[in-house]
Amino acid sequence: MIKSKVILKAILPVVILGILALAFFAGQRPSSYYPVPLLKSSCPPGFKLNENNECIAKNLYSQYPTTNKAGVGGLKSALPEIRDGFSPQEIDLGRYLFFDPVLSADQTVSCASCHDPNKGLSDGLAVSRGIDNNKLKRAAPSLYNVGYLKKLFWDGRASTLEEQMLEPLFSEIEMGNTPENLLRTINDIENYKKLFAEAYPNRLKDEPILLKEITNAIAAFQSSLVSLNSKYDQYAHGYDGALNKNEIEGLNIFRSFVARCAECHTPPLFTNQQFAVIGTPEPDGLPIDPGAEIPFNDKSLRGAFKVPSLRNIAQTAPYMHSGRFKTLRETVQFYTDGRGHAAPDGENLLIHWHIWEPNLTDYELDRLVDFLKTLTDESFKPKVPEVLPSGLHISS
Amino acid sequence: MKKKSPFLKILGSIVLLGIGVFIGKSFFGQDNVETVPIPSTIKYRNIGLKNDTTQVASNREFTGKIIEVRKGSSIQDAVKEANPGDLIRVYPGTYSENVYIDKDDISLQGVVIKGEWPTLDGKKEINDAFLYSGNGILIENFKIINYKGNGIMGQAGNNFIIRNNWIIDTGVYGIFPQYGKNGLVEHNVLSKIADAAIYIGMCDNVDVRHNEVFDNVAGIEIENSRHCLVENNYAHNNTGGLLAFVTPGLPIKTTFDVILRNNFVVNNNHENFGAPGSTVSGIPSGTGILIMAADDVIVENNIITGNNNTGITIVDLATGAPKANDPNSEGNPDRVVILDNIMFNNGNDPTGEIKAIMLTQMDTKGPDIFAYGGGTGSTIRDKNKFRTFGLDGYGVAQITDTEDIATMMTPSPVPPRSVSKEELGELTYYGVCAGCHAFGTRLIGPPTEILQAIHHDNPQGIVDYITAPKNLREDYPEMPPQNYLSEEAKMAVAEYILALKH
């Protein structure tokens, strides 16, 4: 008896505690709750927080005077204007959304599926794959330094990141979602409600999450993806030792008016953000991609594409809008094989005047590749979240 | 078939000719203009420039060292050795190399002895003789021959001086500053260039003076540039003599505020040997001056003679470069001003469209001045003096001369850097260090407050460490050396880190 009393005494507090705990936790909805850290209150690298809780871009190129708004020039030239001023919370929320496949119709494809930080923020494919493994038309561009770009997509059909991302989100063959389904999904996730409330503190408490908040947050994150600390940059800022002899030879070929690479891939961003018809071949059996002709409704732009930045180019093979060239060496070879040599038969393309016959030697082409590899810098590579607010797994 | 009588044939052709003349005159004809009795405005012969001295490009006192390069050694080695402010003197001899200058304030000066020039010979194997990106670059007294790309090409260097160079067949361009602000190109002699001998591309505030350009496709070209003075040059036997235009599709979209003054533009009748697809390959042989889509161009006191197509051609982009298309390039030449010029003997052998259009005027010759396409606000001082076409809309010029504009260069050099030490520290910290270090959190390296604790009051300690890091902590990866940062940037960032509050 005495023994059982002792046991009872011992059990009682446990039982009481258990009941209390039950009562306490019963108040909470047993929804799919995963512990997600709060949003970061500091800016990603390359940005400084100001007194208005805005992240402002800071890098060594800011020390050079702006002599033109286009942000083009030589080694010590200012960059074009970047989209900055987002809050650290918007950027961090955007990071979660970017990696979260919950944004797609079947919850398998995220932005990062095609813009993978481990593949130079591209996907290593000739043309990307969408939902249900749909084959898309063009290659995924790297997102490094995308905040500096004034036109988006290979054919320049979007002018803001917010406008751009609506296409992959709601394209039947990319992420396959609809605005209604996306909003319904996101608004059903407690974690996102909490995080959006944190990132957008001025919104009303029970107001549903809006599409423009989703796109704003993703744009904030994308604009924070900068790469400006390559070996080339060290050389540009004045350190001779950053590039070896072969690489400097490559730089000189790159900027020479024989090869003319720098005329369109102009430093410091390695794009002048214009459109050019260069007449690259399509993969076998595919018809010509009309490129910018379609969005600009302009025949002179048939086969024209936006000049892509070459930063981190060594990380983002294969090359050109449909991934026709597997290596950098093949790609630079294209430019010396003659004006329009690979243009499809029957097409009268207005090939850009800088495409000519520079007669570069094999040695020079090798040096160009050496130089292109110095444009690699992933020191500010974004961190993949360990846990996603949706509870889904990272699928890239 | 019955044969028509020869009389009827002749009659028929006379009638047809008459109809042709009538149609030509009514569609393309122009009204007679009253002669304006204005006295000549030539009140000065030349304009001296006091800031054009032999000192280094930025007009500062010379305080650097002098590096001499003699036959058999390399100019590039001297550039490597040079520091900003230094002068490299190159003695006669042949130097087959590509010289690149990615430093500021370097002067390269050839020394010509008894007619022997220091000669850069590309042997048609080397791309460019000089490539520079630095500010304050001076290049003078070189003979440059047989390159494939350019004689002298600048990318974004401001405050440049390129003068007294003798450049023959250096490929696409002779002298080509691009994206530069405030520069002087003078006393150069250039020939046999397959595009423009002197090409001012996407620049601002450049004077091109006292150069001789001949046997090139284009003599002097001001393209997508603003505030340029082209004065006292002798452009002869090029396909086109002087050009001011907008090329569509470039990131800088405009050309305006250009003065073409006191130049000889003579006999520019060379056949066009420009590369297919290049803009200049479309220039008709016999073009004296071409103004295409450029605004506020003043043509003053030039001698423009013997150019077989036209003396001056003024066209819009739709006419001059119909293939190109760029919605952001405004294609009309607006507010062109033609002041006194001497023009005769132009248009002796017109070609292409100009020939066809002039035939509608019953004229087999090209005009002195030919304008076609859009554009508003253009004026001419004395239209009646010249044989013109398409100048009906031109009013009387509101100015008589540009005597008060001595130069388009900026009054003082473009300042090289606009950041304070603290700003440089901030840019370095956020632009470089922040990838691994942050306040209050561990990234790849230790948090910033730990750096502060270690190097408290000792910025030199940080400088020493980042120059040659020693791995002090087992729990962190070794830091790569940051020795690529300038001494100035290292100290600035060290001080910035120590002063950071959060």
Cα separation, A167 vs A174, in Å, equals 8
Touching check for A352 and chain B: CB below 8 Å? yes
Instruction: State whether residue A75 sits within 8 Å of chain B by CB.
Output: yes
Instruction: Decide if B421 touches A, using CB distance below 8 A.
Output: no
Residue A30 pLDDT class (50, 70, 90 cuts): very low
Q: Which residues, 6 or more positions from A209, have their beta carbon under 8 angstroms from its beta carbon?
A: A183, A186, A187, A192, A193, A196
Largest Cα span, chain A: 104
CA distance B330 to B293: 7
Q: Six-digit token pair at B49?
A: 């420039």
Looking at the predicted structure, is the pLDDT value of residue B45 above 60?
A: no
Highest mean pLDDT among A31-40, B250-259, B351-360: B250-259
Q: Give CA–CA dist B495/B460, Å, rounded.
A: 9
Please, how many CA atoms are within 13 Å of residue B307, restricted to the half-sphere of its CB?
A: 33
Among A324-328, B126-130, B498-502, the range scoring the smallest mean pLDDT is B498-502
Query: Which residues in chain B are closer than 8 Å to A70, comparing Cβ atoms?
Result: 251-252
- Note whether A355 contacts B: Cβ–Cβ < 8 A: yes
Amino acid A22: pLDDT: 54
- What are B353-356's contacts with CB under 8 Å, separation 24+? B354/B284, B354/B309, B354/B310, B354/B313
Whether B277 and chain A come into contact, CB under 8 Å, resolves to: yes
Q: What is the pLDDT of residues A196-253, one digit of tens each?
A: 999 998 887 778 999 999 999 999 999 999 999 999 999 999 999 999 999 999 999 9
pLDDT at A185 over 60: yes
| Cα–Cα distance, A239 to A258 (Å, whole number) | 26
DSSP B453: H
Q: What 3-state class would DSSP assign to B77?
A: helix
Both structure tokens of B209 = 């003076």
List pLDDT tens digits, range B447-457: 999 999 999 99
pLDDT of A367 reads 98
- Among the partner-chain residues B131, B323, B432, the one whose CB lies closest to the CB of A256 is B131
- Give me the mean pLDDT over the B475-488 stretch: 89
In the predicted structure, residue B27 carries a pLDDT above the cut 50 = yes
More confident residue, B414 or A145: A145
Higher pLDDT, B330 or B178: B178
What pLDDT is recorded for position B77? 97
Can you list the domains of chain A with their CATH numbers?
47-63+83-223 (1.10.760.10), 231-375 (1.10.760.10)
For residue A223, report the phi and psi dihedrals to the nearest 5 degrees.
Answer: -65, -15
pLDDT at position A31 over 50? no
Between A204 and A298, the higher pLDDT residue: A298
Neighbours of A159 (CB within 10 A): 13
Rounded to whole angstroms, the Cα distance separating B293 from B375 reads: 8
Distance from CA of B442 to the nearest CA of A (A): 12
Instruction: Tell me the CATH number for domain B66-396.
Output: 2.160.20.10
- How confident is the prediction for chain B on average, in pLDDT? 88
Residue B40 has pLDDT above 80, yes or no: no
> How many helices (H) and strands (E) are present in chain B, helices listed first?
8, 34
- Asked whether residue B37 carries a pLDDT value surpassing 90, the answer given is no
Q: What is the pLDDT of residue A137?
A: 93
> What confidence tier does A283 reach under pLDDT thresholds 50, 70, 90?
confident
Note the pLDDT tens digit of each residue in A66-123. Answer: 888 888 999 999 999 999 999 999 999 999 999 999 999 999 999 999 999 999 999 9
May I ask the CATH class of domain B421-499? mainly alpha
pLDDT one-digit tens code per residue, B313-362: 999 998 887 666 777 888 999 999 999 999 999 999 998 888 988 888 88
| Residue recorded with tokens 């940059």 | A233
Per-domain residue ranges of chain B: 66-396, 421-499
Q: For residue A33, is pLDDT > 70?
A: no
Position B42 pLDDT exceeds 70: no
Q: What is the mean pLDDT of residues A312-329?
A: 96
Q: DSSP readout, A335-362?
A: TTS-TTTTSPTT------TT-S-----H
Region A258-264: what's the mean pLDDT?
Answer: 95
Please name the amino acid found at residue B479.
M
Query: What number is the average pLDDT over the span B217-233?
Result: 97
Main-chain dihedrals φ then ψ at residue B23, nearest 5 degrees: -65, -45
How far is Cα A368 from Cα A254, in angstroms, rounded to an integer?
6
Greatest extent of chain B over all pairs of C-alpha atoms, in Å: 114
Pick B318 or B1 by higher pLDDT: B318
SS3 B444: coil
Chain A touched by B327 (CB under 8 Å): yes
**DSSP category for residue B290:** E
Looking at residue A3, what is its pLDDT?
57
Burial class (CB in 10 A: 0-12, 13-18, 19+), A30: exposed
Q: At what angle do helices A211-223 and A88-99 cross, to 10 degrees?
A: 100
Q: Given pLDDT bands bounded at 50, 70 and 90, which one contains residue A124?
A: very high
- Residue B462 confidence (pLDDT): 94
Round the average pLDDT of chain A to a whole number and report it: 91
User: pLDDT above 90 covers what percent of chain B?
Assistant: 69
- Taking alpha carbons only, the member of A20, A192, A21, A17 closest to residue A103 is A192
Q: Quote the tokens at residue B227.
A: 């505030």
The answer to whether the CB atoms of A252 and B423 lie below 8 A apart is no
B358's tokens: 């002039």
Q: Among partner residues B103, B149, B436, which is closest to A256 by beta-carbon distance?
A: B149
B382 against A309, higher pLDDT = A309
Contacts of A76 in chain B (CB under 8 A): 133-135, 156
Closest CA to B188 of B242, B237, B127, B232: B232
**Residue B184 identity:** L
- pLDDT for A121: 97
- Residue-wise pLDDT tens digits, B284-313: 999 999 999 999 999 999 999 999 999 999
Contacts of residue A149, defined as CB under 8 A and 6 or more positions apart, other chains included, come to A271, A273, A309
Whether the CA torsion A247, A251, A257, A261 is positive or negative: it is positive
pLDDT given for residue A239 in this prediction: 92
Percent over 70 (pLDDT), chain A: 90
- pLDDT one-digit tens code per residue, B82-105: 999 999 999 999 999 999 999 999
* A85-97 b/e (C-beta count within 10 Å ≥ 16 → b): bbbbbbbbbbbbb
pLDDT at A133 over 90: yes
Query: Is residue B178 helix, strand or coil?
Result: strand
Percent residues over pLDDT 90 in chain A:
80
Structure-token pair, residue A42: 């500091």
DSSP B2-68: PPPPHHHHHHHHHHHHHHHHHHHHHHH-----PPP--------S----TT--SS-TT-PPP-S-EEE
CB pair distance less than 8 Å for A42 and B100 = no
> Which residues of chain A are within 8 Å of residue B275 when distances are taken between CB atoms?
356
Contacts with B149 from chain A: Cβ below 8 Å: 256-258
Q: How many CB atoms sit inside 10 A of residue B332's CB? A: 20
Give the model's confidence band at B444: pLDDT under 50 very low, under 70 low, under 90 confident, else very high.
confident
Residue B16, pLDDT > 50, answer yes
Q: Is A238 on the interface with B (CB under 8 A)?
A: yes
Say whether residue A72 is in contact with chain B using an 8 A CB cutoff.
yes
Name residues 355-374 of chain B within 8 A of A (Cβ).
none
pLDDT in the model for residue B94: 97
Report, as an integer, the average pLDDT of A346-374.
94
State the DSSP H helix or E strand holding residue A193, giving kind and residue range, or none if neither: helix A190-199
Query: What is residue B54's predicted lDDT score, i.e. its pLDDT?
Result: 43
Helix-strand-coil split of chain B, %, nearest 5:
20, 30, 50
| pLDDT of B73 over the 50 cut | yes
Is residue A28's pLDDT more than 70?
no
- Contacts of residue A58, defined as CB under 8 A and 6 or more positions apart, other chains included, come to A46, A47, A48, B426, B427, B429, B430, B431
A-facing residues of B in 368-407 (CB < 8 A) are none
Residues of chain A in contact with residue B432, where contact means CB-CB under 8 angstroms, are 59-60, 229
Helices B459-467 and B487-499: crossing angle, nearest 10°? 130
- Predicted confidence at residue B24, as pLDDT, reads 57
Q: Are B70 and B93 in contact (CB under 8 A)?
A: yes
* CA B393 distance to own-chain centroid: 30
